[in-house]
Each structure stands twice: as C-alpha cells, then as structure tokens.
Structure 1
C-alpha cells in the first residue's frame, strides 16, 4: 500500500534556481511540488536540459533575458529540454502521455528546463526521432534553431554558395556547418587545431586555425559569413565578403558596432535573435532521422553538478554541446 510519504515523494521534483544574479555559487538545487499543466500546456519528465551561453550571461544579470526576469527571482534557468510527456492540459490534441518530445521552452521569461519536470506549451514541442537519445535531444533546440534561422531566414544561404562559419566546432557552429553542407554550400570553418579532425569528419571543406591564420588573407568573395564570436572577429570578417555577400552576427553585445562598420564599408550585416519555431525544429528532426545531422555532446552533468557545467560553459571552448542529465 502506498503511504502518504510515497505520494509526497512522487509529487516533488528537484530543480535548479537562483534568487539573485551573480557567480556560479548562486545556483542551488531545491525541491518543489511538481506543477500541473494549464490549458494548452503539457508536463514533461525531463531527461536532458541543454546548456547555452545565454544561461550563464543571464545568471550574471547580463543581456535582455536578465531584464525580463529580474523582478521574478527566484527563477529556474533552461530554455532547452527533451523528455517524455507525463500529462497534458485541456485543449491539447497533438500530444499524449508517453510521447518523446523536445523544445525551446519558456523563452525568454519562463525558462524552467533545469528540472526533473518542466511545463511547456504544446506548440513549443516537436517529436524526438527514435534515432536520438532524449538526453542528447535536450541539447538541440536553441542552438540548432539559432543556426537554422541565421542561415536560411537571415542569410538566405543557397546551394553552391561559399560560407565562412566562425567557431564551427561549438554548439551553434557544429549545427550550422552540418545544415550548410546539407544545403549544398561550400563550407569554411574557423576552429582551434584540436577541432580540425572533428570538423573534417562532419564534412567541412576547409578548416582555418583562427590562432595562426588571418581569415582576411585566406578568404575573399564569400557569399555568407556566420559570426558566432562577435567583436573584432566580426569586423575583420566583413573584408572576406563579396559585393553581394552578407554577414550574420549572433552575439548581441557587439552586433550594433559590426553592423555600423559594415554600413561604412557599403556591405550588408545583420544581427539576429533566435525564436522558438516548432516547424523549423521538425525540419531539423527530419535531418537527424535521415542521418544527415548529428548532435555532439561533449559532456553530460547531473543536476547537482550544474555549477561545474556553467564553469565549462563560460570557458567558451566546448566542442558541440553540454547537457544536464535530469533523469
């Protein structure tokens, strides 16, 4: 017979919170009641929660997401997660308990991914291909959507074009190189020497070691540059563009200065901010199903090791993705 203690244990969950902005020591793991889904929502038993640069920047109080949440702390971070649907709220007809799902959830003010259970709007979630483990799937949505939207919505990359992708071995970068290759582009990527083989295995045509080589001397007449580094790297990259070329820069902090520099040179540059888009996510899932795209996980961390995960994330030299294993 189930006791009250058993029932209570079952209705509790562990999740990460911080009650103030600051260094990694503000991250705590606490217990709370498992929430119930509202109309249009589902409750997901989280297997994997992706870690993204926005997570540590927001934790430090930096950037636009921090402004959204500063008056609603304590807050559970995490915009990426994958897991199994437990219960569905009213008016949810597209998902059922047991479905394997992933999504970019609660962006920007909700969050909630760093948890054993998370609420998500049903229309934020895509079905995870059988080929993809649910912990790995948790690391996919935000980074893959960033790459997809930058390449195909903003840059309008086409087959046969030449593209330079900075930080090609990173979270967004390793998706971007695979999407660009799948689209039929000629792909050049910058990386450290240690990531040359990793990128060659993904099919990248040329890998440039950014520590020893000046891209301005190596590249010219490019159709697209995807700048995942920002600052001086973005500005120097403008000189590699052809007359009709376009640079898309992702770090928001330096986007304005790069765009201004481009205008002064008579060139095109755009900043962008990722947004949840379940249709894009479904297209990406198909590429994974077909074996055309892989998710590379450098390391999975337990919830209790979230501060270590943030330390590695802040270091900025992750190959592929980091993920919290929330099972």
Structure 2
C-alpha cells in the first residue's frame, strides 16, 4: 500500500508584521508544488535578522501574504520534484536561496524554484551550506559582477568580519586583490587578518579613520548610515558598492565615483561554484549557534545577542 502523502508540517510563522515576538511554532500546510519547483525536506535554515524588516518578507506584488515563514537560506534533501524538472531527484542533497517574496525554510519542508537550488557535495554539512548561501552569493556578486575586481585591485571592505564582510575579504584576497578591512574593535582585527586581509584598520562605531583612501573599490558591508569617509576613500573614477540601502548619488558625484546598490540574485551556476569552494575547504564559514525549530522567535533574538560569536544562527532539523 502506498504511503499517504504528508500534508502538514511544523513551521515557524508570523501572522502579523513585526519582529521576533510575532514568530510562533505551529502546524502549517506542506507547500503545494508547481511545475519547475522542488520540494525540499529541510535539514538546516539560516537566519538573516534583517529579513523581518524587508517589505518582500510580508508582501508580494503589493499584496499582504501573511502568515509568512522566515529563513530563506537552506540545505536539505529533495522530497518531491515538480513537472519539467530534470536535474533533481528524490533524496538528492541540495542547498539554495528561496526568493524573498516567498515563504522561507524555517519549516520541515520548503518549495523553491529549481533554478534557485544546486546539488550539495556530501562533504558539505547542511549547516555550513545554509550559513554560506546568502552572504557568499552577495559577496561574489558585489566583487565580480558589480566591481569586477582582479589582480592588484585595491579593495576596501567596511565591516570585514561580519556575515558578508568575511566572505568579501576571503573572495577578494583569493582573487588577487589587496584587501584592507575595517573592523570596529581590536578583537576583530586578528580574525580579519586570518581571513586574508592584508591591512586592517580599527574604526570604532561612530568614528572616522584619520586617513584612509585611494582605493579602486570600496564595499560597505556594515549597513548603518553610510559615513562620508567611505565615499572619500575611493579614488576618482573608482567604485563604491553598497549592500543595505541605496547610496547618496549627490555625494558620489561630488567625489567623482560610481556608487551602486543591488539585491542579490540567485544564480544556479554561482551556487555550483560555491559548493566547490565549500567542498574543497577554500572558504571559512562561521556558524555562531544551532537551535531546533522549536526555538522559534528565540533563535532570531539569539542571532542579535550582544557578545555572541561571529557567524550565522541556524535552525537545525532532524
């Protein structure tokens, strides 16, 4: 006798807009599968705290879509395959990034376009894959697609030990750039050097360095209000890439630089390249904590706790 299909699952959901206090652990329908999609049994789902502030989290095409499920970075195994999908089969190890205007992976199952998923090597742990997806893809797009760094590029990374900044430093250094990283404390300086930064400048929050400049490319990975010294650090004709909010174009014009902002695009080829980097140990991925799905909103609170280790907080499912 054939097994009855599973129709409900445990999920972390929010029924109204807000922060972690709105997240509850409850039963929810298993997502329906459309053509071109795969249903993944989730093994690990990474938390991006800021996603609870993104409009895409709460609406799609201007239409409210609550209740929502957070955590868009995931790793797991294929549970079911939709029509017109040929590259994936049941029980394949995979990882990927759910489009931000869809329900995420803080659940036992997630439905995702097959184009947003890649195979995961057996040597890459689910927690590592989930923790790397969004920050590594963001760093790669910033460095390669937006700034086109290469051998000898003078690269400034503001926030060189954060979730994205740590990958900017690693990928930048491995691409031949001369990387200067700013960090907010002496404690973070040694980690930035270990990641590959040739130079490290300690810039406590709310302050500006005495002198820092003449970079071909600067990338802001901090995300608070962008101080003017970052614009001034780029040589005329150079590039400033901002990851959290659009830069001030009038300030960029004053300094004669190009300033761009983007939202990362899931690229299956890049996911495959990322899997290779992870499988061969060429990227260090920091995981701060792993918590069960039953932690619900407490996991989001833990991800912002003062004094926590660097790295992602991950929901781990059996």
Q: TM-score, normalised by structure 2?
A: 0.90
Matches within 5 A, 1:59-78: 63-68=55-60, 71-78=64-71
Change (3 A) 1:256 1:160: closer
2:49 and 2:304 in contact (8 A); partners too: yes
Change (3 A) 1:155 1:37: same
2:73 and 2:96 in contact (8 A); partners too: yes
| Cα distance in 2 between the residues matched to 1:87 and 1:30 | 23
2:247 and 2:259 in contact (8 A); partners too: no
User: Alpha-carbon deviation of 1:265?
Assistant: 2.4
User: Alpha-carbon deviation of 1:165?
Assistant: 0.9
| Cα distance in 1 between the residues matched to 2:84 and 2:17 | 37
Matches within 5 A, 1:47-126: 47-58=43-54, 63-68=55-60, 71-105=64-98, 107-126=99-118
The C-alpha deviation readout for 1:270-301, integer Å capped at 9, x for no partner, is 11111111111112222222221121111112
Question: Counterpart in 2 of 1:148?
Answer: 140
Change (3 A) 1:221 1:140: same
1:227 and 1:234 in contact (8 A); partners too: no
Match of 2:193 among 192, 200, 205: 200
| Cα distance in 2 between the residues matched to 1:14 and 1:269 | 43
SS at match of 2:189: helix
User: Alpha-carbon deviation of 1:228?
Assistant: 1.6
| Cα distance in 2 between the residues matched to 1:231 and 1:260 | 18
**Pairing 1:23–2:15 present:** no
Higher helix share: 1
Q: TM-score, normalised by structure 1?
A: 0.88
Matches within 5 A, 1:1-327: 11-58=7-54, 63-68=55-60, 71-105=64-98, 107-191=99-183, 192-211=185-204, 216-252=209-245, 255-257=246-248, 259-314=249-304, 319-327=310-318
2:303 and 2:312 in contact (8 A); partners too: no
Deviates more, 1:240-249 or 1:192-201: 192-201
1:47 and 1:325 in contact (8 A); partners too: yes
Aligned residues: 315
User: Alpha-carbon deviation of 1:32?
Assistant: 2.4
Listed as ranges, the gaps of 5+ residues in structure 1 are none
| Cα distance in 1 between the residues matched to 2:178 and 2:213 | 13
Listed as ranges, the gaps of 5+ residues in structure 2 are none
SS at match of 1:149: helix
